[in-house]
Structure formats: C-alpha cells, structure tokens
Structure 1
C-alpha cells in the first residue's frame, strides 16, 4: 500500500459513521500499540483511538476528515494536512499530522496539530 493510501485509509477511519467499518479501516493501517496524540487526546492502541474517534463523531455527526495536501515522507515519517468537513459542508480550519510509519508499513504514531501554524513574533518584526 502506498503512503498516500495508508493515510487516506486512516482518514476514512475518522469519517465512517459505522463503528465496524471504522475499526476495519484502522486495522489495515494502525500498528499494534500505536499511539495517537493531539492537543485534546492521548490514546494508546486501536481500541483507545476508536473510542476517541467515536466521541468526536458523536459531537460532530456526519463530519468527515479529508486529506488536503500531498503526503510528504522520508525515513519512516510522514506529514500531511487535513480538514474536518461538517455534515452541512462547513469546513473547519486545516490541521497537520505527523505520522511515524513502522517497519511493517503501518502507522505507529500520529502527532496531530489543529489550525494553521502560529506566526513568529520575530518574523513579524
């Protein structure tokens, strides 16, 4: 599976309203004991991540996560931008994920960030 296909399948796990389909999507691309972390969550293993995803989807019924950039990757790491699109087509601000890909080709860790990178005070001056 290409790195793009892995990341897209991961995004599908965040988007499918059916728990069994989410679990199947994640099982294809998530390493045993994988870790997911963002400003609001720190989940170890597929079950914990699926529980977190279910909670997010319960708060945003019908929302989906789409990749909005190319996937850049090197030396077992990848980064990509994504966005949540609400059921009414409202687009939330873009986020950025950094993925660590294990030797088996599955995602061993995701580190997620929400929104655009803040500007630097020194760059503005």
Structure 2
C-alpha cells in the first residue's frame, strides 16, 4: 500500500528530522493547523509540534523512530505502531498512533498512545 507507506514515512521522517529539514517536512506534509495529542502532550500548529519533537530529541539523543509492524489505513486515516531507540537496535519505546489527513492529503490530526516506555 503506497498510500500507507507514504503517510507513515512522511510522519516518521518529520520526527527524525531536526532544524530546517524538519521545518520543511512540517510545511510540506502537515496542515498549518495540525493537532498532536498523546499522554504527555497536546499541541497544535507547526511550532507546537516542533517543540514536542525537540523535547523527545533532548530526552533521547541520537535515537530514531521506526515503523513496527504493518500500518492499516482507510479513508483519510492510518494507524500504525512505531518504535523509538538506537538505530538498528530493538526499540525500548513503542507507541501506537492514528494519523488523520486533511482534504489535501496533509497531516491534520494525530492521536498517540505509549505502549512501552522505559522507567
């Protein structure tokens, strides 16, 4: 499913990027009014989302987000599991997100859940 792979790839690329690269990904693939909600954050807009991503990078420097398992999509929404950890290693953090796209195919809303977080 190219459609699903593209959504998940764009999403994870945004979370793995920094600086100008992340700003370009947010601008290209996320609605300006995008909302992001998980157990630790509730933000809106590119600046709010970038701040959450910066916080994750600060807490877990050098770690990367990867897709875990297969995504499922219908209509304009995709659900998938992701991992966060050192590149090439079993991710110690696992989560589950639902991404909803706007009418133009940009990320409009994300609902995140944390399944496994290190203590």
Give the TM bin, normalised by the shorter chain: 0.7 to 0.9
Q: Which residue in 2 is equivalent to 1:15?
A: 16
Alignment of 1:69-108 (within 5 A): 69-86=69-86, 89=89, 91-108=91-108
Rg larger in structure: 1
More strand by share: 2
Q: Which residue in 2 is equivalent to 1:53?
A: 53
Q: Identify unmatched segments of 5+ residues in structure 2.
A: none
CA distance in 2, matches of 1:54, 1:92: 19
Q: CA deviation at 1:90?
A: 5.3
Please give the secondary structure, in 1, of the residue aligned with 2:97.
strand
Q: Normalising by structure 2, what TM-score?
A: 0.86
For this pair of structures, how many residues does the alignment match?
A: 115
**CA RMSD between the two structures:** 1.9
Q: Which residue in 2 is equivalent to 1:113?
A: 113
Alignment of 1:20-35 (within 5 A): 20-35=20-35
Q: CA deviation at 1:6?
A: 2.3
Q: After TM superposition, what 4+ stretches of structure 1 lie above 2 angstroms from structure 2?
A: 86-90
Of the structure 1 ranges 24-33 and 77-86, higher mean CA displacement relative to structure 2 is found in 24-33
